[in-house]
Chains A and B, each alone.
Chain A
Amino acid sequence: MTIPKERHVLVIFPHPDDEAFGVSGTITTHIQQGTPVTYACLTLGEMGRNLGNPPFATRESLPAIRKKELLASAEAMGLTDLRMMGLRDKTLEFEDDEKMVRMMEELIEETNPSLIITFYPDFAVHPDHEATARAVVRAVRRMEDRPKLHCVAFANNTLDVLGQPDIVYDIKDVREHKMNSMKAHISQTAWMLEEMEHKLQNGDTETENWLTLERFYTYRWDQDFE
């Protein structure tokens, strides 16, 4: 599938590095096609567990490190409109739900996107992913003229329930950008990248696919999550 030109793409995820694994190739392609892309990252991943042993960071020094990494990832993708929304990692589901929806509505009103990318509610694994997905879906549901809503799903039961993703983009032309976006988040991705290199060297096709394809589910309004 080729990636169509959009009016504006709005990407909403809770953690620095959420964009890297699932959508950095798609973001890069949109930018290279001249589509403006806004990435709203709700937290700085303050509660990340990878602090090293021996430690390279503390609970208190991690946010500044991850902020720098997020900026580096944006640069790797060519992204210029990065919004850091100032919430705290692992607390999103405990925020006032309506406040979360309003935050999404304001982003949508301002950027007027033709496409929004976020997680798929109930298939997003991490509580912050789920809270983000719920808020985005609720905000879009209330719109009269809804933009396209493409969702990333990776819960273990995704294939059983949702089936195959309806949107599969070949991003191998921007593979290096994707790799650089993932490498930008080195404090959190080092062990994963090491494992990935090992698998690639052994000709693991799943890992190769993961680097060259990005998959989305169009949100199913007829099977709304609530």
Chain B
Amino acid sequence: MTDPTNPARTRPGNEPLVDLRGITVEFPGVKALQDVDFRLFPGEVHALMGENGAGKSTLIKALTGVHALDTGEIHLAGEPVSFAGPAQAQAAGISTVYQEVNLCPNLSVAENILLGREPRRFGAINGWAMRARAAKLLSRMGLTIDPGSALGNHPIAVQQLVAIARAVAVDARVLILDEPTSSLDAGEVAELFRIIRVLRDEGVAILFVTHFLEQVFQISDRVTVLRNGKVVGEHDTPKLSRITLVSAMLGRELGVLAEVERRTERRAADPAPLLVAEGLGRSGAIEPFDLEIHAGEVVGLAGLLGSGRTELARLLAGADRADTGRVLLDGRPLRLRSPRTALAKGIAYSSEDRKAEGLVSDLTVRDNMILAMQAARGWARQVPRRTADELVASYLARLDIRPANPDAVVGTLSGGNQQKVLLARWLITRPRLLILDEPTRGIDVGAKAQIQQVVADLAADGMAVLFISAELEEVVRICDRIVVLRDRHKIAELSGADAGVDDVMELIASGSTRVEVRS
């Protein structure tokens, strides 16, 4: 897209700080980036959008010198540059904050911010000066964190902000944020955005990668969309419609999304509940709550991060033990001692932490899919190879998993496909209640729509689904009933038909003060 008439190409009185021209990066067998032009201006927040595998990460890595360019050149403030690695890029003022916080939790906040460039006196680290410098930096960002406290004692969100502080500590002119919000709740995102705006107003050029459409419109000034390694659009955000953006990313009309968009008509759920929780609770995790789930309905759990969504789900799945209350399945009391007993009773739980609690990353797609089924049978009765192959093949097709190769090592798949493999693992056990904790987090729009569709289909077939998501739009769209949590309490239950995002948001916000960053 090098259309000179495109208003986004010309920005009066301003030269691009970063100008990538004709970038091509090839990996064996793949053109990860193909003739990509990309410009970043000082004092703008620029969102980089695209599905998984579109080339976002490759573009960032090409810019920061991680990947060598096959063709093309990089200009920084008008000068051609070439970085041999991230350290050189950083020295030139390009700092990157990755999705996962790469800091040392056992060191103090100040030490983390200034790691590798500690102020020294007589050859030793000057602790006093270090804390002072860190404190100055934090206050510039409007953060009230004690620089001397251990980083590990802070929540992930604060650690993320510290990572940003570390990135700007080197007088960064360009700040790259690679999915910084994927593990933050709404309040924390707001805090992050406030800081992003502060930095932007100081003239820092910010490149922002995210999967959340809402956030793109909230924070970004311009958007560049990548698809299959090519730039398919460069837009001013205010002039961009949501549909244009999504269809540019997907490269197809919005059939899939629209289909899920309409609330699926469903048969009336069974009058007798499948599962009832009475006063179920666990101290320090979730206050006692009541909950009914019927076969054929999708119940959503909404609330901020840390509101007890996951904790509630883990009690129902036997992953944690409740210390009060009881669970009835088909009206009969059920003692959930372990995930194993829950699975035996038809309750499957897909954890929010795909990497740590879901995938067995070194094993193949096949092994990952049949793991739960095999575990239920015990080690002595191996799932016959043919049964396994048939099941795996059918789910590869049904969930549109790519590559459709049962022998691929699961760790090499993209996030969306990994999530689908996990979904297949639980579906193979033929659960009666499927608990999905953030099944669409960090995956691309296409896979997200597919997973939402699968959830709707499963419910239509009579499965009960407990659906947890930080994205309220998604919860409202696909759930029949929404349970709202706040500060580890269940505070309300809405019927999906008359619930909108605003209603849920109001409930979550009601009576609670602004979410503050703890120090």
> Are A and B subunits of one complex?
no
Task: Enumerate chain B interface residues (CB-CB to A < 8 A).
Answer: none
Residues on A facing B (Cβ under 8 Å): none
